[in-house]
Structure 1
Amino acid sequence: MKKFADMSIKSALMVATALVVTPAAYAQADESVAEEANANVIIVTARKKEENLQSVPVTVNVFGEQMIDDANIAGLEELSDFTPGFQLQSAFGREGDRPVIRGASNILFSEGKVGFFVDGIPFVGASTALDLENFGRVEVIKGPQSAVFGRGTLSGAVNYVSRGPVNDLGVDFELTAATHDQYEVFGRIAAPIADGLSGFVSASFNSFGGFYRNNETGERLGEETLNISGGLNYEADGF
């Protein structure tokens, strides 16, 4: 009888222990799910304020730094290959890029239907000259955006979001080569300057030999692009 009594007591203790441990296990599982959910949250500024992508009532395709690196996306033209309903056509080299969103495109020498923005500020010039390495995120926003971004966004907008502040010195260097005498050199230096203040300077040079030759001179009809960029980021305490 004593042996059976000891076994009953041990069994009761094991059940009690299991009942005590189970809530803790559930709590740990809930914390893991919550952490995973927070890690998967994608923040966008499609309406000029930070919002969860899932709660934004517009169609937005977001490309972060990691995604751009993993897909080896070198420019906006390649980025458009990964975006349904978005194309980038070139009429006369890098200066004649024509973005197309949902079938509506920018016509040369007329008001555009697709607007380009850097941190929500209108960008005027060749969008293909912007180095994606300087940005932490690219947002392709589809549909009319005149209420948020103003005129020239009847079919959509492309918003480049700059990288955040840095706490340590960082140096990036890239060299790319391709057929038709094409190569590109890119360099970037970012560093903290003072408390809450950091900045960067970058430069790139792109040379393309071209597909055709001048029959008179025999020279290739190529193009060259030099781009120099810089920026400052300041974050005040208490804001």
Structure 2
Amino acid sequence: MKTMADKIIHFNTHLAFKGTLPPGIRIMNPFREQPGVVDIMTTFYRKFYNDTRTRKLILGINPGRFGAGVTGIPFTDSIRLADPCGIVIPGIRTYEPSSVFVYDVIAAYGGPKAFYKDFFIGAMSPLGFTTLKPGGKEVNYNYYDSKALTDAVMDFMLDCLRKQLALGLDTRVAYVLGTGKNAAFISKLNEQYGFFERIEPLEHPRFVMQYRLKQKEAYISKYLEAFKI
């Protein structure tokens, strides 16, 4: 019998967007672009998902350049991957604020082993997007930042969501990261397709770190309370 790790690794290594993106938007596929990411991702999922347990889904937006864009693991930069996950990427050190908050939540839950035994973190688009600002700086871009991009990747996202659910996930609830556009989009999608019995929106980790840092402990408590559902 295939483990959840087997299924996740297959899903990640077969991700491919074959459509056409709007001008100025680039798709980011770390599993094909970044040397060593497949090995890192494989090590992580073999360590924490090498079983057939059913897990609850935490659904994010799309990968960022310094988290999953480097490690292949949602909301996990290289610092958090090393400690507390115990997987070191030689010569690479990346920092993502969202990863800090997520791993504070994970620590409060009981640590990576306990957390990943119960949850899988996915994304509406498991591949990321970037664009160039004036001056040439590359920045993250979200699937909902323009209607043209949302329309272009809609079929891809629906296909990816169905495949993520097939990994072995509990569909009674989806914890959606982002109480604004991401939650609104997924709620509307859920009304149409009935993927989940309920949607539980939670403030996005980046929002907490950027705008509510002094209240971080309160938001960690809110996550833990929500996870009791």
Task: Report the TM-score when normalising by structure 2.
Answer: 0.26
Normalized per residue, the structure richer in strand is 1
Larger RCO (alpha carbons 8 Å, 6+ apart)? 2
Normalized per residue, the structure richer in helix is 2
